[in-house]
Structure 1
Amino acid sequence: MNQNTSKTVLILGANSDVAKQCIRQYAEKGFFVIAASRNTKSLKEFVTENRLDSKVSVLYFDSVDFNSHETFYGKLPVQPHIVVYAAGFLVDNEKALKDFKGAQQMMLVNYMGAVSILNIIATDRSNKNLERIVGLSSLSGVRGRKSNFVYGSTKAAFTTYLAGLRQELASRNIKVNALVIGYIRTKINEGLQLNESLIMEPDYVAKCIVNAGNSFTIVPNFKWKLIYLILKILPESLVAKLP
């Protein structure tokens, strides 16, 4: 491993389209990137295609194999300055209602896996490098809506966890950000009937992650910011009429 940079970012669930763009953008900014995912083959191909071999280390990480998380973290080649939790799983609401396995997998990946590994990272006081933790959440978690409330509940739980983690780590001057994201042109949304004018590109969302500031909630794109604000203030009677 050729590490010539001063800071390191750990991306968990690094095989998503947004996460891959984060790898590229962090590397361009001079970070050394530890990209962790179950699909290391796809990650290695991406790294090679983008000529990032000297700037990226690819590791195996399974967000739902909780028993492996302590060992995974302990074996990292360097303690990270920034951690991005980008792992995610989605099944449609009808399937989640009828088949608990799908609902359970969303809970495991989107929330429980995040809490498991981030608790380990956040409580490691020996890591004097840690500056920031970023979690990828969703607009689906802002209010419960009948079209996606099972998935949304996992993201709502994750956002609440991140909010508390931000308070927990404030005394150590470690920032925590929640990216509250709308529709993205990614493989997870392939086949869905989405409003084209609201779809964001992965590289745009990645830029918001890489350039995260002090605010806890970050909502990329002004249209989604407006939707976020409307969802927050709508009375329940009107939310119930939404799809």
Structure 2
Amino acid sequence: MEQNKAKNVLILGANSDVAKQCMKQYVQKGFSVMAASRDTGSLEHFVQENKLHSKVTVLSFDAVDFAAHQNFYAALPAKPHIVVYAAGFLVDNASALEDFEGAQQMMMVNYMGAVSILNIVAMDKENKNLERIIGLSSLSGVRGRKSNFVYGSTKAAFTTYLAGLRQELASRNITVNALVIGYIRTKINAGLQLNESLIMEPDYVARYIVNAGNSFTIVPNFKWKIIYLILKILPESLVAKLP
């Protein structure tokens, strides 16, 4: 724990259920956390309730306010060693097809906002602390499927961006990870009809984030690893028959 004592983690989209569990686990490992979200009131309540205030600084961050991202980064209380992009937005596929506003919001939060802020983080070559960037992606982005291809396309784009960013930053010994995640018991999935045996708890997923290694693609849970591999190799004719 001692070696991590002075290290700082920046969590973007820190009000998500998984991000909150990451906060707790990073603090347990001795990190200081900068937790950034639009809803700072809810985040402050979580921090106080879990007695994390001595190690967590709550910051205001809007993933879609692209013009404010440079100033947000410049005003950080410390340069991060680790950055986690956990911001996410989801509307169902039918709504996304009928109403572009929902589709656009998914694009802006899940992809454009990530590229905007992570480009700023990555191109700050004066930050000698930076050692890792972690993005939360989804199995929905592995193959286009008729049930969720609009949302999936935003996650596919994000994963592709992270893959290229990993190559860009390799010469500076900065690791980039993509968490390719299946169903999680979170508020973003509330009300959806999901296979209960495949649902993961937020704290379980958070452990994979906090303990991320050198692999680019990290798929929590062996069942989802199998599904991921099957999706990668299925011929298009069979993918078309999936829901």
State the alpha-carbon separation in 1 of the partners of residues 69 and 58 from structure 2.
16
| Correspondence 1:135 to 2:135 | yes
**What is the SS of the residue equivalent to 1:135?**
strand
Residue 5 (structure 1) shift: 3.1
| Correspondence 1:91 to 2:95 | no
Residue 23 (structure 1) shift: 0.3
Aligned to 2:220: 220
TM-score (norm 2): 0.98
The one-letter code of the counterpart of 1:46 is F
State the alpha-carbon separation in 1 of the partners of residues 42 and 30 from structure 2.
23
State the alpha-carbon separation in 1 of the partners of residues 64 and 127 from structure 2.
24
Aligned to 2:233: 233
**Same amino acid, percent of matched pairs:** 82
Residue pairs, 1:16-95, within 5 angstroms: 16-95=16-95
CA RMSD of aligned residues (A): 0.7
Residue 177 (structure 1) shift: 0.1
The one-letter code of the counterpart of 1:221 is N
TM-score (norm 1): 0.98
The one-letter code of the counterpart of 1:140 is S
1:61-107 superposed Cα distances (whole Å, 9 cap, x missing partner): 00000000000000000000000000000000000000000000000
**What is the SS of the residue equivalent to 1:11?**
strand
State the alpha-carbon separation in 1 of the partners of residues 42 and 210 from structure 2.
22
**What is the SS of the residue equivalent to 2:102?**
helix
Aligned residues: 240
1:161-190 superposed Cα distances (whole Å, 9 cap, x missing partner): 000000000000000000000000000000
The one-letter code of the counterpart of 1:116 is S
**What is the SS of the residue equivalent to 1:25?**
helix
State the alpha-carbon separation in 2 of the partners of residues 240 and 145 from structure 1.
7
State the alpha-carbon separation in 1 of the partners of residues 53 and 191 from structure 2.
33
State the alpha-carbon separation in 1 of the partners of residues 233 and 83 from structure 2.
31
**What is the SS of the residue equivalent to 2:185?**
coil
State the alpha-carbon separation in 1 of the partners of residues 27 and 40 from structure 2.
18
Aligned to 1:145: 145
State the alpha-carbon separation in 2 of the partners of residues 69 and 5 from structure 1.
27
Q: Which runs of 4+ in 1 moved over 6 A?
A: none
Aligned to 2:120: 120
State the alpha-carbon separation in 2 of the partners of residues 31 and 119 from structure 1.
23
**What is the SS of the residue equivalent to 1:88?**
coil
